[in-house]
Structure 1
Amino acid sequence: MIDDIKADAEKRMKKSLEALSSAFNKIRTGRAHPAILDSVHVNYYGQDTPLKQVASVNVEDNRTLTVSPWEKNLIPTIEKAIMSSDLGLNPATSGDIIRVPMPMLTEETRREMVKQAKHDAENARVGIRNARRDANNDLKELEKEKEITEDDQRRGEDLIQKLTDQYIVEVDKALKAKEDDLMAV
């Protein structure tokens, strides 16, 4: 039973870490990275479709992305979708390819993005702590119903705390890496 609770808590903590990684991908650095466009959706025959399902996104050089639609008639729609996204990018079409240059980041913009990264990291920490709280409540319920002993409950809480500490360290590492990436000129 304790192992089930621990496994469930670990699964939830992993999801918080994955959500953080996804959030960090949306925060652009000065370099081009295909994951920046993951949040862009295109109207494809009346369906809201992710960009990567209707086009290939590649890095041309460290400051430019290229988007190659699989259907030529999608070029204006993709261009409009990239412009209307909240990423602050201005695509330019040349033939069958859409080039998306990454604008230079100012010091102020970098600091704002670091703030956003810290906020996302704190949300991940909160998610991890919520998983810990729920697991500890489950352990207390089992002890209250006499399905486990008080010693087993304490041992389980210690296991959950070690797991929590491990995932918090992972969040801190990811945040440090993202901050370094954002502040690098």
Structure 2
Amino acid sequence: MSSFEEILLRTEERMEKAVGHLREEFASVRSGKASPELVANIPVEAYDSSMRLRDLAAITAPDAHLLLVQPWDPTVVDAIRKAIEEARIGINPIVDGKLIRLPVPPLSEERRHEMIRVVRRMAEEARVALRGARRHGLEEAKAFQKESDVSEDDLARTEKDVQKLTDRFIGEVDRLLQAKEAELLKV
């Protein structure tokens, strides 16, 4: 494999990571329907350290407006409740013995538009990351071309391929954003 191909692979990997991160961020944005990702990454102080909620409990969504958190160790129920309250996600936990119920209220119109602004900002951050990966890939290609006496044509071909990758991933960001906006606007 030539080094230009390796540069393309590394660039594509960086771009995939940026889009993957955006998917994770979008999953954590509340859209009016219950999703375990809304609370999965909330930090919980338990066992003398900070752990993510998903590492301490099973999180399920039995219906569109309810999340159930079932801690594996009943002694951390209170710590989980406290962490959810402190996360300020607009959900009030209800402790029911060893189980925590999280009723997910529907979003107001104002809150929906606020969330759309948030996801648009997230999408723009992903586009910036993609452009950074493109810049990094182009710099690597130019450095390789100077070091190894490959032709200008090979460099130009690689630059076109990097741009095609960038366009493809920006299109993916736009599709994800469009889908998330539609989900947020759906009542």
Q: Aligning the two structures, in what range does the TM-score lie when normalised by the shorter sequence?
A: over 0.9
Quote the residue 1:96 is aligned against: 98
Specify the alignment match of 1:82 in structure 2. Answer: 84
- CA distance in structure 1 between the aligned counterparts of 2:98 and 2:147, rounded to whole angstroms: 66
Output the amino acid matched with 1:151. Answer: D
Q: Aligned partners of 1:86 and 1:136: how far apart in 2? A: 42
Query: How far apart in 2 are the matches of 1:16 and 1:126?
Result: 9
Out of 7, 10, 15, the position equivalent to 2:17 is 15
Distance in 2, matches of 1:51 and 1:19, equals 19
Aligned length: 185
Q: How does 1:1-185 map to 2 (within 5 A)?
A: 1-185=3-187
Q: Which amino acid aligns with 2:159?
A: E
Deviation at 1:146, TM superposition (A): 4.4
Deviates more, 1:98-107 or 1:136-145: 136-145
Shift of 1:140: 1.5
Q: Secondary structure at the match of 2:34?
A: coil
Q: Deviations over 1:31-70 (max 9, x none)?
A: 0011111221211210111111111111122100000111
Distance in 1 (CA, whole Å) between partners of 2:148 and 2:69 is 60
Distance in 1 between the 2:157 and 2:122 partners? 31
Structure 1 portions without partners, runs of 5+: none
* Paired letter, 2:134: R
After TM superposition, give the deviation of residue 119 of structure 1 in Å.
0.4
Secondary structure class of the residue paired with 2:70: strand
RMSD: 1.0
> With structure 2 as the length reference, what TM-score do the two structures score?
0.95
Q: Identity of paired residues, percent?
A: 38
Following TM superposition, where does structure 1 have runs of at least 4 consecutive aligned residues deviating by more than 2 angstroms? 142-147
> Once the two structures are superposed, what CA deviation does each residue of 1:119-147 show, in whole Å capped at 9, x if it has no partner?
00011011111111111111122223343
Q: Matches of 2:82 and 2:147 in 1, distance apart?
A: 59
TM-score when normalising by structure 1? 0.96
Opposite residue 180 of structure 1, the aligned amino acid is A
Equivalent residue letter for 1:104 = P
Unaligned stretches of 5+ in structure 2? none
Structure 1 CA distance, aligned partners of 2:88 and 2:129?
25
